[in-house]
Amino acid sequence: MSVEHRQQLPDGIPERIPEGILSEVLSGALASIPRSDQRRRGELYVRGLLTVAGKKTMRALADGAGNSVEQSLYQFITKSTWRNGPVRRAMARLVAQRLDPRAWVVHPLVITKVGRHSVGVERQWVADLGRVVNCQQAMGVWLVSEQGSCPVDWRLALPECWTDHPERRDRASIPEHVASCPPEQCAIGSVARMSSGWELPDRPVVMDLRDGDPYAVSAELSARQVPFVLRIDPATRFALPDPVRPPAGDHAGPADALIAALSRNCLPVEWYDHTADTVRATSVGATRVRLRRRSGPAPAGERRELVLLGAWTDRGRRVPGEYWLSNLSGAQLGTVYRTAMLIRRVVRDQAEVTDGLGARDFEGRSFRGWHHHMTMVTVAHAAHALAWSEEAAGARAAVRERRPMVPVA
**Mean pLDDT over the full length of the chain:** 87
Give the pLDDT of residue 8.
38
pLDDT > 90? residue 315: no
Predicted model pTM: 0.88
Question: Considering only CA atoms, which of 159, 289, 127, 157 is closest in space to residue 215?
Answer: 289
Question: Considering only CA atoms, which of 361, 396, 401 is closest in space to residue 377?
Answer: 361
Give the pLDDT of residue 210.
93
Query: Where would I find the H helices in 125-230?
Result: 160-163, 166-172, 183-197, 214-223
Contact 4, 16 (CB under 8 A): yes
Identify the bridge partners of residue 287 per DSSP, sorted by sequence position: 308
Give the pLDDT of residue 5.
34
pLDDT > 70 fraction of the chain, expressed in percent and rounded: 86
Residues in the chain: 409
pLDDT-derived band at 391 (thresholds 50, 70, 90) equals confident
Question: Quick one: average pLDDT of 178-206?
Answer: 93
pLDDT single digits (tens) 350-360: 999 999 999 99
Question: Considering only CA atoms, which of 349, 355, 356, 359 is closest in space to residue 385?
Answer: 349
pLDDT single digits (tens) 267-304: 999 999 999 999 999 999 999 998 776 555 554 445 57
pLDDT-derived band at 44 (thresholds 50, 70, 90) equals very high
User: For 128, which DSSP code?
Assistant: T
Question: Considering only CA atoms, which of 294, 303, 310 is closest in space to residue 254?
Answer: 310
pLDDT > 90? residue 190: yes
pLDDT > 80? residue 309: yes
pLDDT single digits (tens) 256-271: 788 889 999 999 999 9
The pairing of beta strand 131-144 with beta strand 103-112: antiparallel
